[in-house]
Chain A
Amino acid sequence: MKTIAIMWLRAVKRYLRSRSRIVGSLGQPILFLLALGYGLGSVFQAAGQGNYFNFLAPGIIGMSIIFTAIFSGIELIWDRQFGFLKETLVAPVSRINIMIGRTLGGATVATLQGLIVFIITLFFGFRPYDWALVPVLILFMLLVAILFTALGTMIASLLEDMQGFQLIMNFLVMPLFFLSGSLFPLQGLPPALGAIVKFDPLSYGIDSFRALLLNLSTFGLGVDLAVLAVVSVVFLGLGSYFFSKIQI
């Protein structure tokens, strides 16, 4: 337990100390919100779909969570040869506890990022339809964060160096984000796209955020929770397995 706690604490301390990274990583979400939210606003409105900025906000919150979470998982690669991981692997602690601590820490950091983006949307006039649901939103954000941190850890456990990282970002994370309904509604999609969206765990995450913030859901909150929970458990399992196989 103490191991998990201290790994968590380490992740959070590192995050809170990297002010420039925090501010830097907010750049993209804000750009998306402004450029797309206001840029496409009138088009979206004319199509009868309502306020695009509001529609987009949960998607952008999801964006910051998935990118931060995967990145937390991937930090493992750097830690692996360059630091800290060796110290933990040689210590008399179980690798499972190390993995859980890292994952919870990384997920906490990703959730904090998501919260910051949420607060920024409030500055632009976005309002949740029911404030009482915000704590529930935070729980769902954490669940999505855990899912993707575990995925990041799993991938990082399989990579030996940072070369694969570019490939992962472009061919895994970007598609996961763009094909998750973060940016577009899930009704009326061409069948192929619709099918892909259903396979993307992030879609269920974004759907749950929209449900809790805008009362707008395609899959239903229950389905979202079930899918996110099951996929999280699978990724945590796979992540732990591959993490335990790391040889340095």
Chain B
Amino acid sequence: MDSIIQVSNLVKKFGDFVAVNDISFDVKPGEIFAFLGPNGAGKSTTIKMLTTLLDPTAGTIMLNGEDPVVNPSGVRKSFGIVFQDPSLDDELTAWENMEFHGVIYGVEKKLRRERIDQLLAFVELSDRRDSLVKEFSGGMRRRLEIARGLLHHPKVIFLDEPTLGLDPQTRNHMWTYLQDLNKSEGVTVFFTTHYMEEADRVAQRIAVIDHGRIIASGTSAELKAQTKKESLEDAFLELTGKTIRDEDANSTDQMRRMGRMWRGGGRR
């Protein structure tokens, strides 16, 4: 097949508000694809539609040849996702989190156990397999989530702001894992980020979304040429403007703050 992700004329309305306004793009198999945009641009909404969490108002999506609306179960087997907020169970061990994922994704026991060992080794968490996740730092949690997201060998891995709040060493490690995996297994990597230098360094193709529309797409070099800027960050600012996008703190933000309090003074 040509594209592993194909989005055509996708629209999402919440009442009168149009969050995603007729966007189309495609992602080739084995590509590392960055989906960039300011706050409130429609990135999360788009990802939710791609990952069966929301139904589109109009338009079509094809992921690995399946339509998420028609066959959500089939689509879910094809992707793994690392959310912006951790979705691990703090009171279980690293191994148990992996095991849980394997069971609900239907990975048969022997294969499951082998892959858990492999993946934990890959993200360098083997020695902490029996530690409770609540003892993990932000970087360790992110690495575990990547390992977990890949357990069922998906064709695509979605990452929503994967390096937010991480130190440079961990960020470097994470991209190394992802790039290795991309090369060796051909996993398509679809990510969003605010760290433009990372997108510049890592992404093979980029789409920029703003106010629910794709305003530019192409390689990093193409975007820089198009906007006559030297860095991707400047190109991005040129495309989306310099006004700060204020978002109302929704309940998610409040819970994130509470979560930080509870986890002991700001350690992510």
Instruction: Choose one: B53, B73, B76, B132; the contact of A248 (CB below 8 Å).
Output: B53
What 8 pairs across the A-B complex have the smallest Cβ distances?
A161-B251, A92-B76, A87-B87, A86-B87, A92-B73, A14-B91, A91-B104, A6-B103
In the complex, besides A84-B89, A86-B87, A90-B52, 20 extra interface pairs with C-beta distance below 8 angstroms are: A13-B91, A13-B92, A14-B89, A81-B85, A81-B251, A81-B252, A82-B87, A83-B86, A83-B89, A83-B90, A85-B87, A87-B101, A88-B104, A90-B53, A90-B76, A92-B76, A92-B105, A93-B104, A162-B255, A162-B258
Residues of A within 8 A of B (CB): 2-3, 6, 10, 13-14, 17-18, 78, 81-93, 160-162, 247-248
Instruction: Choose one: A2, A10, A89, A161; the contact of B89 (CB below 8 Å).
Output: A10
Contact with A along B244-255 (1 / 0, CB 8 A): 000000011011
Question: Which residue of chain B is the closest to A6 with respect to CB atoms?
Answer: B103
CA distance A248 to B103 in the complex (A): 23
Within 8 A of A (CB), among B84-129: 85-92, 96, 100-101, 103-106
CA distance A10 to B99 in the complex (A): 11
CA distance A193 to B263 in the complex (A): 45
Residues of B within 8 A of A (CB): 51-54, 72-74, 76-77, 81, 83, 85-92, 96, 100-101, 103-106, 132, 251-252, 254-255, 258-259
Instruction: Choose one: A84, A88, A90; the contact of B51 (CB below 8 Å).
Output: A90
B71 to chain A, nearest CB (A): 10
Q: Which residues of A contact B254 (CB under 8 A)?
A: 161
Q: Which residues of B contact A93 (CB under 8 A)?
A: 104
Question: Which residue of chain B is the closest to A80 with respect to CB atoms?
Answer: B255
Instruction: Choose one: B72, B88, B255, B259; the contact of A84 (CB below 8 Å).
Output: B88
CA distance A81 to B253 in the complex (A): 10
CA distance A92 to B81 in the complex (A): 13
CA distance A74 to B249 in the complex (A): 23
Q: Is there contact, CB below 8 Å, between A91 and B76?
A: yes
Q: Which residues of A contact B101 (CB under 8 A)?
A: 87, 91
Question: Which residue of chain B is the closest to A77 with respect to CB atoms?
Answer: B255
Q: Is there contact, CB below 8 Å, between A81 and B91?
A: no
Q: Which residues of B contact A81 (CB under 8 A)?
A: 85, 251-252, 255
Q: List 23 A-B contacts (CB under 8 A).
A: A3-B103, A3-B104, A6-B100, A6-B103, A6-B104, A10-B92, A13-B91, A13-B92, A14-B89, A18-B91, A78-B255, A82-B255, A83-B87, A83-B88, A84-B87, A84-B89, A85-B87, A86-B83, A91-B101, A92-B72, A92-B73, A92-B76, A161-B251
